[in-house]
């Protein structure tokens, strides 16, 4: 268990079981109905949390903002796109209520102080700081002031920049977690950076996670096997959906695989095995699989045993094979044959 373990809506983070976040981002494409469908799908797939992004165009962007990739034919500018991604306060509250009804944690990353205020009013269990907002100290300070856990993605930040953000969270005495994240869409497997998990844990002494953009389940499975406390993956209902994040997303079936792995790893890690005790408990099976000393051929009474007369055969219920030296030179007090093990009572 991490010394800085905490809980999000009653679910432990840093206790040995990875907290699994299904990241919708903009894959709802501005459709409220589709956003609600994502909640049902993420819960059915076994995710601990569903995460959106709360964009308020006028509060975070301008007409000067360029598209990272010009994918949307219906939006003339990036500002127009963010505008189309907006939901009202009431609609966000409805999404949060839906998630609560389904028993899945509702999260959304704010990208402006206005978005923080909106989300705080509807009740956030934790805050996720996107990779591009690590240097937005006003946002981080405001989120941390609520006392709720703050989860920071490292994607475009140096360790010094991450450290400054972490200091703001700790100054407010809010719980902290840090994600390794490679900001490439999709991320090549060779650039996932699983090694960074240990470095983050060493530097920040807090729960650490992987926020993955590979579009494959393998990095998350490997991160959980390395003890990651949180896993965040983009989530799409189907890979034929429209949107910039679909190519880096997992499907419901792949999310279910991660959820099953999360539970399996936790089950294994919570039951450490004592090797000697386990071997002792398997004594009957050991007897079946081990070998004992046996004659290679018929040997007459009175013969003095030599190494070339003996071999080892199953089961291990006779004289153990490793006691060969103690048997050599002993005299037989009865005839023995290769169809039976050599017994102590056969020896003078």
Q: Are 21 and 232 contacting, i.e. CB atoms less than 8 angstroms apart?
A: yes
Say what the pLDDT of residue 73 is: 75
Instruction: Fold for 6-269, please state it.
Output: TIM Barrel (3.20.20)
DSSP symbols for 233-272: EEE-S-TTS-STTGGGEEPHHHHHHHHHHHHHHHHHHTS-
DSSP lists the bridge partners of residue 179 as 153, 209
CATH 3.90.1210.10 domain extents, the chain: 287-346
Q: How crowded is the C-beta side of 242, counted as CA atoms within 13 Å?
A: 9
CATH 3.20.20.70 domain extents, the chain: 6-269
Q: How far apart are the C-alpha atoms of 290 and 311, rounded to whole Å?
A: 13
Read off the pTM.
0.85
What residue ranges of the chain have pLDDT lower than 70?
1-3, 69-71
Say what the pLDDT of residue 260 is: 98
Assign domain 287-346 one CATH number from 3.40.50.880, 3.90.1210.10, 3.40.1360.10, 3.40.50.450: 3.90.1210.10
């Amino acid at each position: 268990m991490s010394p800085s373990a905490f809980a999000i809506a009653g679910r432990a983070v840093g206790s040995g079981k990875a907290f699994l976040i299904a990241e919708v981002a903009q894959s709802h494409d501005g459709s409220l109905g589709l956003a609600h469908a994502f909640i049902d799908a993420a819960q059915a797939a076994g995710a601990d949390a569903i995460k959106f992004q709360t964009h308020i165009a006028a509060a975070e962007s301008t007409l000067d903002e360029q598209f990272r990739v010009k994918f949307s034919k219906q939006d003339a500018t990036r500002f127009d796109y963010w505008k189309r991604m907006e939901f009202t306060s009431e609609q966000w509250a409805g999404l949060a209520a839906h998630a609560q009804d389904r028993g899945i944690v509702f999260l959304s990353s704010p990208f402006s102080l206005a978005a923080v205020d909106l989300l705080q009013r509807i009740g956030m269990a934790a805050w996720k700081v996107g990779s591009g907002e690590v240097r937005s100290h006003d946002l981080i300070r405001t989120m941390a002031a609520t006392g709720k856990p703050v989860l920071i993605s490292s994607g475009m930040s140096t360790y010094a920049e991450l450290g400054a953000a972490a200091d703001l969270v700790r100054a407010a005495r809010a719980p902290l977690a840090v994600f390794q994240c490679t900001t490439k869409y999709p991320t090549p497997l060779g650039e996932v950076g699983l090694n960074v998990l240990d470095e983050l844990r060493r530097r920040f002494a807090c729960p650490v996670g992987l926020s993955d953009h590979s579009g494959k389940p393998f990095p998350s499975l490997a991160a959980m096997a390395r003890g990651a406390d949180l896993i965040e993956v983009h989530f799409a209902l189907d890979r034929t959906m429209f949107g910039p994040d679909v190519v880096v997303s997992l499907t419901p079936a792949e999310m279910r695989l991660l959820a099953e792995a999360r539970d399996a790893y936790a089950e294994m890690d919570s039951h450490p095995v004592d090797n000697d005790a386990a071997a002792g408990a398997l004594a009957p099976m050991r007897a079946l699989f081990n070998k004992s000393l046996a004659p290679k051929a018929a040997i007459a009474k009175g013969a003095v045993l030599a190494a070339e007369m003996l071999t080892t055969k199953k089961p291990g219920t006779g004289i153990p094979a490793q006691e060969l030296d103690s048997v050599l030179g002993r005299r037989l007090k009865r005839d023995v044959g290769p169809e039976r093990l050599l017994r102590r009572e056969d020896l003078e």
